[in-house]
């Protein structure tokens, strides 16, 4: 009798384990939107007049992709968590960039605080990928130095030039120099090997600028556009930024992405589009 009960118990545990494993494998991919605040900006840098844009302010966004085989952090915000303390009210930060330009960002939640709310610490994250190396995307990159960094050589070379450039490297991503790194050598890089999360070359804004395609079960395809566009009006009025590394290449990358969006029926999320960003569900809510 005891033996039969034990056998039944083992069978039940075995079944439970098998079901849990199947569930983990079948669990739909989740896309979390993390809010990095609001950036004061000048549409003139993107060949737009203030009266041509719905708002001159830009959103700062980061994203966490949770896949059955691991997690991917996409961009890391404009303000390092180490430089401020979240409270009840939003906090205004003034930054002086290495070229002495002033930037103003207002934010409410820290990146690590938002990750914590959904059960993660930066050190838990499997992969880090940055759309590009500019200051407003890399502020918390050092926190992800234990992740495997997925980067194009052309982008990494600008971040860590040899010999070192003056002024010294921005300290917010310095730790990535020693991180476990996968150098992406193809235009498309399939992060988890099943075509659902793909880093796509979209160069021009910077030498190795990329966008991220995420294929979600209910939402459908979403492309996180990095800085291929900043204001949605760059797209509707067909304007190119005046400060891109290679403006003509940005134009070509936009054309290539338009074809992909059409072919796959995917949405483009312009990461800096404040009006669109405000409408997105924020973590701990998610898209699946």
Which residues, 6+ apart, have CB-to-CB distance to 56 below 8 Å? Answer: 40, 41, 42, 43, 50
Out of 227, 233, 234, 244, point to the residue binding Zn ion (CB under 5 A).
227
In the block, tokens 């303390």 appear at 85
Nearer to Zn ion, 136 or 155 (CB): 136
Of 69-77, 114-122, 221-229, 241-249, the segment contacting Zn ion by CB under 5 A is: 221-229
In the bound state with Zn ion, the residue whose beta carbon lies nearer, of 30 and 132, is: 132
Residue 81 or 136: the one with the smaller Cβ distance to Zn ion is 136
Q: Which stretch binds Zn ion (CB under 5 A): 91-99, 168-176, 178-186, 223-231?
A: 223-231
Q: How many residues touch Zn ion (CB under 5 A)?
A: 2
Binding mask 267-286 for Zn ion (x = CB under 5 A): --------------------
CB 102 within 8 A of CB 60: no
* Residue 234 engages Zn ion in binding (rule: CB under 5 A): no
The least distance separating Zn ion from the CB of residue 60, rounded to whole angstroms, comes to 8
Beta carbon of residue 130, minimum distance to Zn ion (angstroms, whole number): 11
CB of 218 to Zn ion, least distance (A): 28
How many other C-beta atoms can be found within 10 angstroms of the C-beta atom of residue 154? 16
Alpha helices in 121-203 (DSSP H): 135-138, 153-159
> What is the DSSP-derived secondary structure letter of residue 224?
E
DSSP 68-127: TTEEEEE---SS-GGG----SS-EEEEEE-TTS-EEEEEESS-HHHHHHHTT--GGG-SE
CB nearer Zn ion, residue 45 or residue 49: 45
Nearer to Zn ion, 35 or 227 (CB): 227
Residue in 127, 119, 116, 113 with CA at minimum distance from that of residue 75: 127
Q: What residues from 86 to 145 belong to the interface with Zn ion (CB under 5 A)?
A: 136
Kindly give the pairing relationship between strand 197-201 and strand 188-190: antiparallel
Q: Which stretch binds Zn ion (CB under 5 A): 79-87, 165-173, 217-225, 227-235?
A: 227-235
The count of other CB atoms within 10 Å of the CB of residue 35 is 20
Q: Which residues of the shown chain bind Zn ion in the complex (CB under 5 A)?
A: 136, 227
């Amino acid at each position: 009798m005891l033996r039969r009960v034990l056998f039944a118990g083992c069978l039940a545990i075995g079944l439970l384990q098998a079901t849990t494993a199947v569930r983990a494998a079948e669990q739909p991919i989740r896309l979390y939107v993390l809010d990095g605040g609001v950036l004061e900006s000048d549409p003139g840098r993107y060949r737009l007049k203030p009266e041509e844009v719905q708002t001159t302010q830009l959103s700062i966004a980061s994203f966490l992709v949770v896949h059955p085989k691991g997690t991917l952090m996409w961009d890391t915000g404009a303000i390092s968590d180490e430089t401020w303390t979240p409270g009840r009210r939003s906090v205004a930060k003034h930054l002086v960039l290495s070229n002495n330009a002033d930037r103003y960002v207002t934010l409410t939640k820290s990146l690590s605080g938002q990750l914590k709310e959904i059960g993660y610490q930066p050190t838990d994250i499997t992969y880090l990928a940055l759309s590009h190396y500019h200051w407003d995307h890399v502020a918390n990159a050092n926190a992800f130095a234990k992740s495997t960094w997925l980067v194009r050589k052309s982008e990494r070379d600008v971040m860590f030039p040899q010999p070192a450039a003056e002024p010294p490297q921005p300290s917010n991503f310095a730790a990535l120099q020693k991180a476990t790194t996968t150098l992406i050598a193809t235009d498309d890089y399939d992060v988890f090997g099943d075509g659902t999360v793909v880093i796509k070359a979209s160069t021009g804004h910077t030498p190795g600028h990329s966008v991220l395609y995420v294929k979600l079960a209910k939402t459908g395809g979403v492309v996180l556009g990095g800085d291929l566009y900043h204001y949605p009006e760059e797209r509707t009025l067909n304007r190119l930024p005046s400060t891109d590394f290679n403006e003509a290449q940005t134009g070509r990358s936009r054309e290539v992405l338009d074809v992909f969006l059409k072919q796959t029926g995917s949405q483009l999320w312009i990461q800096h589009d404040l009006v669109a960003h405000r409408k997105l569900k924020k973590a701990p809510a998610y898209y699946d």
